[in-house]
Amino acid sequence: MKSPLSTLLSEKQGSVYSVSPNTTVQDAAQMMNDHHIGSVVVLDETKLVGIFTERDVLKRIVMKDLDPSNTLVSQVMTKKITTVSPTTSVHKAMEMMATLRLRHLPVMKDDKLVGVISIRDLTGYISQSFKFETDTLWSFITGDYPNTA
């Protein structure tokens, strides 16, 4: 998959959800539940300062018995963030996510957040690419071309 992430981002539907560092864990988790997402990026105005994920909730809130309504995202977010650029290939992003055990990758261009790619986004994109390739090869082999008239 040599396609750049910009291709995937242009086809991806949905928004990038963010919270400020001063958001409570309760409010961030509510946003994640409301939108059926596994993470939110943490922005200090427009600067990416962290990511808050379902894993953070489990490891840093539940396991430490912290009160989500009195804990700020800035206290428990993942601060060491791996990012990619829109020119990063789908293959490279998949490799990074597997090696680093990540489920979400913020996509940055000129220090500005332009999107977030999830492992689900990548697997869906790759699956669609394989389907297209398989359908094309099958049409070639069988001579059963779609009607282009």
Q: Give SS3 for 91.
A: helix
What would the pLDDT profile of 71-121 be if each residue is shown by its tens digit?
A: 999 999 999 999 999 999 999 999 999 999 999 999 999 999 999 999 988
- Which architecture characterizes domain 5-142 according to CATH? Roll (3.10)
**pTM (2 decimals)?**
0.81
Residues in the chain: 149
Locate 27 and state its tokens.
């409010």
pLDDT at 147: 58
What would the pLDDT profile of 38-63 be if each residue is shown by its tens digit?
A: 999 999 999 999 999 999 999 999 99
pLDDT at 64: 96
Distances (CA, A) of 143 to 129, 132, 146, 147, 149: 21, 16, 9, 12, 16
- What is the distance between the alpha carbons of residues 29 and 41, in angstroms, rounded to a whole number? 12
> How is the chain split into domains, by residue range?
5-142
